[in-house]
Structure 1
Amino acid sequence: MATSKVSPPPSPPPSQPQSKQSQEQKSEMATPTSSDISSVIDSPANKAQEAHHIAFFNSIPWCSSLLSSTPNLIVSQSVSRIIRPSGCEEDALLSQTLNSPDAIPAYITFYSPPPKPTDHVYEVKSLIALGPKVNGWEGICHGGIVMTLLDEVMGQLFAVNKDSGAMDSKMPVLTGFLNTAFKKPVRTGTKEKPAIVLVVARLTKMKGRKHFCEGVVYGDGEGKNELARAEALFVQLRESKI
Structure 2
Amino acid sequence: MPQPHEAPSSSLSLTPLNRILSPPLGLIPPNTPPRLYSSCVSHFLSIPWCACLIQTPNTVPFIPQCFNPKSPAHDQLVGATLAGPRGLQHMLCFFHTEDEAHLQDADRPIMHVSSLFALGEGLSGYEGVLHGGMIMTMVDEAMGVLHEINLALGKTGEIFGAASVTAGLEIKFLKPGPINQTVLANAWVDGVEGRKTRIKCELRDGNGIELAQCSSTWVSVRARM
Q: Same fold (TM over 0.5)?
A: yes
Which residue number in structure 2 is paired with residue 90 of structure 1?
Answer: 74
**Displaced runs of 4 or more, over 4 A:** 34-40, 42-45, 167-170
8 Å CA contact 1:134, 1:142 repeated in 2: yes
Unaligned runs of 5+ in 2: 1-14, 22-27
Which residue number in structure 1 is paired with residue 66 of structure 2?
Answer: 80
Distance across 1 between alignment mates of 2:217 and 2:164? 10
Q: Which has the higher helix share?
A: 1
1:203 lines up with 2:197 in the alignment: no
2:65 alignment partner AA: V
| Displacement of 1:37 | 5.8
Which residue number in structure 2 is paired with residue 156 of structure 1?
Answer: 145
1:147 lines up with 2:131 in the alignment: no
Which residue number in structure 1 is paired with residue 53 of structure 2?
Answer: 66
Distance across 2 between alignment mates of 1:172 and 1:42? 18
| Displacement of 1:44 | 7.2
1:188 lines up with 2:179 in the alignment: yes
**Aligned residues: CA RMSD:** 2.2
Aligned with 1:160: secondary structure? helix
Q: Quick one: which of 78, 89, 101 aligns to 1:105?
A: 89
Which residue number in structure 2 is paired with residue 175 of structure 1?
Answer: 166
Aligned with 1:105: secondary structure? strand
| Displacement of 1:45 | 4.7
Which residue number in structure 2 is paired with residue 232 of structure 1?
Answer: 216
Q: Could you state the TM-score of these two structures normalised by the residue count of structure 2? A: 0.80
8 Å CA contact 2:83, 2:89 repeated in 1: yes
Instruction: Give per-residue Cα distances to partners, 1:51-110, cap 9 Å, x unaligned.
Output: 1010000001111011112x221112222101423xx42111111011110100111000
Aligned with 1:199: secondary structure? strand
Judged with a 3 Å threshold, the aligned counterparts in structure 2 of structure 1 residues 47 and 73 are, in CA distance, closer, same or farther, namely farther
Distance across 1 between alignment mates of 2:62 and 2:132? 26
2:76 alignment partner AA: A
Unaligned runs of 5+ in 1: 1-33, 190-194
Judged with a 3 Å threshold, the aligned counterparts in structure 2 of structure 1 residues 229 and 76 are, in CA distance, closer, same or farther, namely same
1:94 alignment partner AA: V
Instruction: Give per-residue Cα distances to partners, 1:146-191, cap 9 Å, x unaligned.
Output: 01111100000000011111255663211111100000001102xx
Distance across 1 between alignment mates of 2:76 and 2:190? 28
8 Å CA contact 1:75, 1:108 repeated in 2: yes
1:100 alignment partner AA: G
Judged with a 3 Å threshold, the aligned counterparts in structure 2 of structure 1 residues 172 and 122 are, in CA distance, closer, same or farther, namely same
Matched pairs, number? 198
Q: Could you state the TM-score of these two structures normalised by the residue count of structure 1? A: 0.75
Aligned with 2:40: secondary structure? helix
1:217 lines up with 2:208 in the alignment: no
Distance across 1 between alignment mates of 2:78 and 2:52? 25
Which residue number in structure 1 is paired with residue 33 of structure 2?
Answer: 46
